[in-house]
Amino acid sequence: MRRLLAVTLIMPAVVFAAVTPESATREPLSASDWNYIAQKVASGQKDWLSVVPSLAPKADQEQADQLEDALATALPTNTKNVLSVLNEIDHTKNSKVGGTDIVCVMKVVKSGKEADVYYADTRLALLDDLNGAKCLWNLEGVWEEAKQYQNKSK
């Protein structure tokens, strides 16, 4: 009975200990917090995307890499909000998180089925967004370079 009582009293503390978009910019973050944030950003949730520009200057290189990958993952699913975040990052000083030039191309640098699917999905999403021109331009350019390199390697 005591164990049940202890678990009942501890569980709410565990639930409230999870980082939120509001707390992410105010509190020190652990490695597991950064992983959690990256997962949420990758899902394309608007509230999590909105905190990325505030977190970008605070990130070390590993955390910046996580955020870049998460933004690239979210790009085809929540294009409008990711482009907005990238625009803010492009204008942020002292950020280790790459903006449009990095995020828009990072998933198509390597060849393979995943890159092919990502390119197709992201290209279509960017064509539907008036603010996607720079990102689309970068995506198309790197995609063509990767294909040329792949053809030379054969």
How confident is the model over 19-45, as pLDDT tens digits? 999 999 998 999 999 999 999 999 999
Q: Is 11 part of any domain?
A: no
Q: Give pLDDT, residue 150.
A: 79
Q: Is 15 part of any domain?
A: no
Chain segment 114-137, per-residue pLDDT in tens: 999 999 999 999 999 999 999 999
Token pair recorded at residue 88 = 């803010």
pTM attached to this predicted model: 0.86
Handedness of CA 8, 29, 91, 74 (dihedral sign): negative
Q: Is 24 part of any domain?
A: no
Q: Is 23 part of any domain?
A: no
131 CB neighbour count, 10 Å cutoff = 14
Q: Give pLDDT, residue 2.
A: 56
Number of domains the chain is built from: 1
Supply φ then ψ for residue 26, to 5 degrees: -105, -25
Q: Is 98 part of any domain?
A: yes
Which of 83, 88, 92 shows the shortest CA–CA distance to 130? 83
Q: Is 19 part of any domain?
A: no
Q: Is 5 part of any domain?
A: no
Chain segment 47-102, per-residue pLDDT in tens: 999 999 999 999 999 999 999 999 999 999 999 999 999 999 999 888 899 999 99
Task: Show the domain range for 134.
Answer: 29-153
Q: Is 128 part of any domain?
A: yes
